[in-house]
A and B are shown apart, each in its own frame.
Chain A
Amino acid sequence: MSRYVATRAIRGSNALVTEAEFMLRKALAEKGPDTPVAFPNTAYYLPLIFGMTGQQVETIGQLGSVLEHARELLHPIPAGRHWTPYLGETLDSGMATLLAAETIEAIRFVYGLQPEPMPGFHLAGGTAFTSPDAGNGNGGSSKADGHLNGPIDDIQLRSWGIQLVDGRMPGFAAIVGAAKSNEVAVKIVRELQRRNILCFLSGNVNGRSIIHQLVEEGVELGYDTYTVPFGTDTLSAVYALGFAVRSALTFGGMKGGMARDILLYNKHRVFAFVLALGEVDDLKYAAAAGAISFGFPVIADTIIPEILPTGVTTYEHVVSMPFNEIDGKDDLERAERLVQKCIEVRGVKVRVADVPVPVPYGSAFEGEVVRKTDMRIEFGGKNSRCFEYLTMAGLDDIVDGKVEIVGPGMEGVEAQGCLDMGIVVQVAGRAMQQDFEPVLERQIHYFVNGASGIQHIGQRDIAWIRISNAAADKGFNLEHFGKILHARFHADFGAIVDKVQITIYTDPDQLAAWLARAREAYDYRNKRLADLTDHAVDEFYSCTLCQSFAPNHVCIVSPERLGLCGAYNWLDCKASYSINPTGPNQPIKLGNVVDATKGYWSGTNDYAKQGSHGVVNEVAMYSIMENPMTACGCFECIVMLVPEANGVMVVSREDTTMTPAGMTFSTLAGIAGGGMQTPGVMGVGKYYLVSPKFIKADGGFKRIVWMSGYLKDSMADELQAVAIREGDPDLISRIADGSNATTVDELLAWMEEHNHPALVMDPIF
């Protein structure tokens, strides 16, 4: 701090705690102490309060002791002369500010004032991989309209988990205030998106917020675009810190009340910073003092005292970069430099591939949805065909960087029309292997999606791509698919790929011929992948990507059990190892079979001990009941024992409803994550459900007595195939879901009625 900053922050914190006390007294009088308080879809109560104090606040009455603690943390402002030290005191006051801010927001929820209403506003929320025209996620379209986002729910936190841990999403920016102009606001957010940095928006300057600025400029705000509008006041910035606290609880295996550990976890592992745009008032100083305890530095685009010595944060604590004094030919360039400075101050690690396309590019745009009304053209979907195929070629057979369009371009297609398209990627490289073809091919989805205004769904011959009007207006055309793929394959897989050539087929004859070749390859790969069983290989792979977030968790990936995030299967790991032999995926020599049924090898046990730093001693690859594999926090599904039903239930991340275990996904996730081994609970990738090795030691797939409706719908074909494999074609219909059982009693009744096989299986334990 400096004395100026300390004075203003301490003054702000005293005022806010007083205001919170006033609001609490009012709420106690009007609503009563037993009225529940909660943030939506989180198992971590009021997360900042829970993390810092360990208090599980569920009612208004419990907030009293929180504010008492906040008041104890307050201090008088430093004297004008002969002052006593103020840094520790200011940091304490900052923490008091955050506790008071979360208290106020919780009370506002009770009064229906959070999430903050904003008539006419539409949140771009929801998950991809469904039709872009079918609602907007968050459980339905209407829920996403007319208000800002408020706090981030646990589901979204977890779905971002893998990106946060593998570095695709390097960190988050808590932007508070309003930019110099709308143009600057958009540029700042675009620059951050381009680097895949989450943008949390809050605060205002004289009533005007960056949220207003971005909405006026038509920028989509919501989970999909990594740009989350919390609220137009400074208080809502506390949601960013609640998110930070939950990162530590979810992925770091920490418990509520482990304040120091949680704060240090954030300092060392969560690359976040505060960007204060416009005037910094007392409350902003106070909240910033709170953020500094998390190791998050503050960068302001106005003149404020700089605090450059380091220690509480990794690099500088407070940096002032007055917007008008930034070198640059215009405001856009100044905005770009401002963002660069933020990244430098926090030490955020950013990888940016320079992709030569006329639209913004970055994985922040991966989740973007192109609705039919905004669409220029689509490939695939209901009315046309689209496939993508990647194949290996000889080094002399292709020309690196060549992008060829065979057939007509998109110019002739009417607005909102469609076109058949095939994307054929030929790669060559000394280290390239045929095994890597499907691994690389799968990347096309992420690579294409990274372009703003382009949406990619599906894969192989069910790919479905849309180009928005906005992108087309900026000149995006078919050739750019090739440009993207060329740039990204080199950037991400340069170790195995030396040459990349792309051909886009729209000519019907050529397209049909290549489609046939592609399908042959798909078929061949399917069979080969099917041949790849755990017993056909002599090594599995470790995955320690998540150890940046969950330090003691380790995934062991086998051909028949993919990583719990769903993003890494055995082949991916193998490829990753080839690309980076010292990276997070290392081969694990299986050694001697200890127990083939439960899935113990001497090699996997040794590795589990080593990789978990001694926390886990043994891992059964095929059991949930005995030494199950641990989880970081970014699992796609949770499998959990239902003892009364003699089976397990499977809850998917997308499912926010109640389960027969009496807990929602969010609450269950708290038990399953953090690298702890808990028999009966396991986080898994959803494709493990259809593996023949799925909890084989405990009875296999037939043990599933309940699963989220979302899984049944989205994996219908795969599940049906398993039913046939298990010798009971009606098996899936015997499994209950949220629509027919949300309690154990209902579940048991359903199982009786539908004659579920688990009822007659051996006791599971």
Chain B
Amino acid sequence: MPKDKRTPVEQSIDPAAQEMLIRADEIGVSTAFSRADAMTPCNIGAAGMCCKLCGMGPCRLTKEGQTGVCGATIDTIQARNFVRAVAAGAAAHSDHGRDMAFTLKAVAEGKTEGYMIRDVAKLRTVAAYYNIPIEGRSPTEIANDLADLYIAQFGQQRGHIAPIIRAPEKRQKIWQEQGVIPRGIDREVVESLHRTHIGDDQDPEHLLQHTIRTALADGWGGSMIATDISDILFGTPAPILGQANLGVLKQDMVNVVVHGHEPTLSEMIVAASQDPEIIEYAKQAGAKGVNLAGICCTANEILMRQGIPAAGNFLHQELSILTGAVEAMVVDVQCIMQALVKLAENFHTLVITTSPKVKIKGATHIEFDEHHALTIAKQILRTAIDNFKNRGPVQIPNARENLIPGFSHEYINYMLGGSYRASFRPLNDAIMTGRIRGVAAIVGCNNPRSTQDYLHTYVVKELLKQDVLVVQTGCGAIASAKLGLLLGEAGLNQVGPGLREVCEAVGIPPVLHMGSCVDNTRILTVLTQMVEDGGLGDDIDQIPAVGLAPEWMSEKALSIGAYCVASGAYVIFGGSSPVSGMPDRMSDSDAVLHYLTEGWEKLYGGKMEFDVDPDSMIQKTLEHIDRKRAALGLPAYDPERFGRSGDARILELEQLPLAERRAALYGVVEK
């Protein structure tokens, strides 16, 4: 039975989204929101109790003591489903990393068009991790070696993948002892598929051990490689003013929305959109120019580096087309809904697929190739401009908010001490004194099964009031951005007293936007550096920090969650667990679920939990943070002790007339 249809206000807290959802109703088209209402999830699949791995099934286990045809128990089936999901997520991130590595190789060989090595300092730093010689060598020579090394990580068969050495020593030792250091990125993904084939690995704990290894191949492998190379080729992000939400689309310009995940094409489209020839072409078409906007993590990539506005997060992909103002939606990989094409048929919007891996029936395909990147980017833009004349009625919600993204770990290091004293010391100090109670990484997707952005922003706002510093990536970051939480101003009036002092001292927003979902590795690097700076224990699991993915939906999120757990983090997913079981009907059908929590915590110090209630997520987060604080011997959190410093008093005094102000500020020097 379909559920009752929710109202727009129940579907999203974002007024721009609500406006577009009303428009969708008026036009009579479906969206992910309405389809979610119409589609009841399969409760057996949702509990992880359905096995469709072979032709003897699918087997749906719903009764006490039941097994599959092959005899697979419920926990084996759940563990197999889980490791497959993680493997798919790891594959997505890592394949992204692989393409970046190939691009770096091509740049080093001078075979690309339009790319260059923008951040030589980062290239040298990264190369130095792996003892690639840097002194007296040109950037392309170093890049060539690094590209070779990184490309080799994917197909490597034995040993350890290289970036593992960047983890805290104690953590590496734990992985060594548990036998979970990935041998090669692809190998772990392939082995996940092999092990879950009919009649292979049928020990749930053994399967879940390999889940960790596969996830580590993502977090400390493919994803880390992707982030490194993106920074090297496109610049390491630093804070920059940007904007978010559908209001960034422009009535009088050709709107091109880039959507997906990889920066290689989108960066080129950014470059092409500023080309005088293209601007002139747009003007000839009757527009003022080309307006670029991003959706999903492509948005984050170009927002972090170029300040290109974000039209929205995952669930805004359809809504942006609903404005009628989008000439082209250019997509590459991951999180692209097939529904776009059908939806676009109601408007003039062209959906342009570009990745050799991703075609959607009915979409225009202009295949991207880094060897002719700029030429293709211009071709795409011309196609979009040509489409401007076909535009029909337009309704762009007047909703957009400013934000300051760009918090790479390199910049965080710099911002806390300048060029000469860069370090994480002030952050560690702030946590140790209790000005910052702890850190929450609130990441992940949108999910139309919950009210869009609600869980993200509710949890963020409540934790900020509790002096928890929030770092975000992906769609979660854009959710907060839409509410102005990514501005310095929010650091003054949306937070507890201690965090306010820190925000004001550094000039940061209370929510630090650290990039796309592949950039969650930046968070691993930050945590590692916090450990190295001292005072917060000697491993990541001791830091008072929690990871949350309140609106998760993709398999990538599960992979991220698993590598964070393996790195020592407590990770709370909102929404339902893919391995929840049905303990009310079948005892022990939640054994795997419990193993992800208690079993993994014993081995890695981190654990994975699923919780649908935001207040409970907040409570668990704070309890965990306070427990970790106590374990480190840090003072208990007490907001009363802080909040005295800052500009407030002097700004008040500056309102006084000159003479009074002088007397008030400086007193009078007696002669």
What is the interface of chain A, defined by CB distance below 8 A to chain B? 1-6, 52, 73, 78-79, 81-92, 94-95, 178-182, 205-206, 208, 259-260, 263-264, 278-279, 293, 301-312, 316-318, 322-324
The answer to the question of B132 belonging to the interface, with a C-beta cut-off of 8 Å to chain A, is no
B667 partner residues in chain A, CB cutoff 8 A: 180, 278, 301-302, 322-324
Which residue from chain B places its CB closest to the CB of A87 in the assembled complex?
B506
Stretch at the interface among B289-297, B422-430, B609-617: B422-430
Out of A79, A206, A263, A309, name the residue touching B505 (CB < 8 Å). Answer: A309
B489 partner residues in chain A, CB cutoff 8 A: 81-82
User: Given A83-B404, A305-B649, A311-B426, 20 other A-B contacts at CB below 8 A?
Assistant: A1-B506, A4-B651, A6-B507, A83-B488, A84-B241, A85-B507, A85-B508, A179-B669, A180-B669, A263-B421, A293-B421, A303-B649, A303-B665, A305-B646, A305-B650, A309-B505, A309-B645, A311-B428, A311-B429, A312-B416
Out of B415, B435, B501, B651, name the residue touching A85 (CB < 8 Å). Answer: B415
The answer to the question of B26 belonging to the interface, with a C-beta cut-off of 8 Å to chain A, is no
Which residue from chain B places its CB closest to the CB of A306 in the assembled complex?
B645
Give complex CA distance A40, B653 in Å.
Answer: 45
Q: Are A317 and B669 in contact (CB under 8 A)?
A: no
Q: Which 3 A-B pairs have the closest CB atoms?
A: A311-B426, A91-B418, A306-B645
Q: Are A88 and B669 in contact (CB under 8 A)?
A: no
Give complex CA distance A5, B670 in Å.
Answer: 26
The answer to the question of B402 belonging to the interface, with a C-beta cut-off of 8 Å to chain A, is yes
What is the interface of chain B, defined by CB distance below 8 A to chain A? 239-241, 402, 404, 406, 414-423, 425-430, 433, 435, 487-489, 501-502, 504-508, 642, 644-647, 649-651, 653, 662, 664-671
Chain A CB count within 10 A is highest, among B429, B507, B650, for: B507
Q: With A83-B507, A95-B418 in contact, do A2 and B425 touch (Cβ < 8 Å)? A: no
Interface SS, A side: loop
Nearest CB of A to B608, in Å = 32
Which residue from chain B places its CB closest to the CB of A181 in the assembled complex?
B670
Q: Are A309 and B426 in contact (CB under 8 A)?
A: yes
Nearest CB of A to B664, in Å = 7
A309 partner residues in chain B, CB cutoff 8 A: 426, 429-430, 433, 435, 501-502, 505, 645
Out of B404, B421, B429, name the residue touching A260 (CB < 8 Å). Answer: B421
Give complex CA distance A286, B308 in Å.
Answer: 34
Give complex CA distance A52, B406 in Å.
Answer: 29
Chain B CB count within 10 A is highest, among A1, A89, A311, A312, for: A311
Q: Are A87 and B670 in contact (CB under 8 A)?
A: no
Q: Are B418 and A90 in contact (CB under 8 A)?
A: yes
Q: Are B429 and A310 in contact (CB under 8 A)?
A: yes
A301 partner residues in chain B, CB cutoff 8 A: 667
B427 partner residues in chain A, CB cutoff 8 A: 311
Q: Are A91 and B420 in contact (CB under 8 A)?
A: yes
A1 partner residues in chain B, CB cutoff 8 A: 505-507
B239 partner residues in chain A, CB cutoff 8 A: 84-85
Q: Are B505 and A87 in contact (CB under 8 A)?
A: yes
Nearest CB of A to B139, in Å = 20
Give complex CA distance A305, B505 in Å.
Answer: 10
Out of B418, B649, B670, name the residue touching A89 (CB < 8 Å). Answer: B418
Give complex CA distance A262, B125 in Å.
Answer: 23
Nearest CB of B to A397, in Å = 51
B507 partner residues in chain A, CB cutoff 8 A: 1, 3, 6, 78, 83-87
Q: Are B430 and A311 in contact (CB under 8 A)?
A: yes
Q: Are B402 and A259 in contact (CB under 8 A)?
A: no
Which residue from chain A places its CB closest to the CB of B643 in the assembled complex?
A308
Nearest CB of B to A493, in Å = 36
Chain A CB count within 10 A is highest, among B415, B489, B668, for: B415
Give complex CA distance A90, B506 in Å.
Answer: 10
Q: With A82-B488, A90-B418 in contact, do A306 and B426 touch (Cβ < 8 Å)? A: no
B651 partner residues in chain A, CB cutoff 8 A: 4
Pairs A–B under 8 Å by Cβ, sample size 17: A4-B651, A73-B419, A82-B404, A84-B404, A84-B406, A85-B506, A205-B666, A260-B420, A304-B650, A304-B665, A307-B645, A308-B645, A309-B433, A309-B501, A310-B429, A311-B417, A312-B417
A180 partner residues in chain B, CB cutoff 8 A: 667-670
Give complex CA distance A278, B665 in Å.
Answer: 9
Nearest CB of B to A99, in Å = 11
Chain B CB count within 10 A is highest, among A3, A73, A309, for: A309
Give complex CA distance A619, B649 in Å.
Answer: 60
Chain B CB count within 10 A is highest, among A92, A178, A323, for: A92
Out of A88, A206, A293, name the residue touching B414 (CB < 8 Å). Answer: A88
Nearest CB of B to A290, in Å = 10
Q: With A82-B489, A302-B667 in contact, do A307 and B421 touch (Cβ < 8 Å)? A: no
B422 partner residues in chain A, CB cutoff 8 A: 88
Nearest CB of A to B540, in Å = 20
A264 partner residues in chain B, CB cutoff 8 A: 421
Nearest CB of B to A201, in Å = 16
A87 partner residues in chain B, CB cutoff 8 A: 415-418, 426, 505-507
Give complex CA distance A702, B458 in Å.
Answer: 85
Give complex CA distance A82, B484 in Å.
Answer: 10
Give complex CA distance A86, B239 in Å.
Answer: 10
Q: Are A2 and B666 in contact (CB under 8 A)?
A: no
A312 partner residues in chain B, CB cutoff 8 A: 416-417, 421, 425-426
Nearest CB of A to B433, in Å = 7
A293 partner residues in chain B, CB cutoff 8 A: 417-418, 420-421
Which residue from chain B places its CB closest to the CB of A319 in the assembled complex?
B645
Nearest CB of A to B309, in Å = 14
B240 partner residues in chain A, CB cutoff 8 A: 84
A73 partner residues in chain B, CB cutoff 8 A: 419
Give complex CA distance A616, B430 in Å.
Answer: 39
Give complex CA distance A4, B651 in Å.
Answer: 8
Q: With A88-B418, A308-B645 in contact, do A82 and B505 touch (Cβ < 8 Å)? A: no
Which residue from chain B places its CB closest to the CB of A318 in the assembled complex?
B645
Which residue from chain A places its CB closest to the CB of B425 in the assembled complex?
A311
Give complex CA distance A263, B645 in Å.
Answer: 25
Q: With A2-B504, A91-B417, A311-B416 in contact, do A278 and B241 touch (Cβ < 8 Å)? A: no
Q: Are A303 and B430 in contact (CB under 8 A)?
A: no
Give complex CA distance A309, B240 in Å.
Answer: 24
Chain A CB count within 10 A is highest, among B404, B414, B645, B665, for: B645
Q: Are A2 and B665 in contact (CB under 8 A)?
A: no
Give complex CA distance A16, B241 in Å.
Answer: 28
Q: Are A303 and B505 in contact (CB under 8 A)?
A: no
Give complex CA distance A2, B501 in Å.
Answer: 9
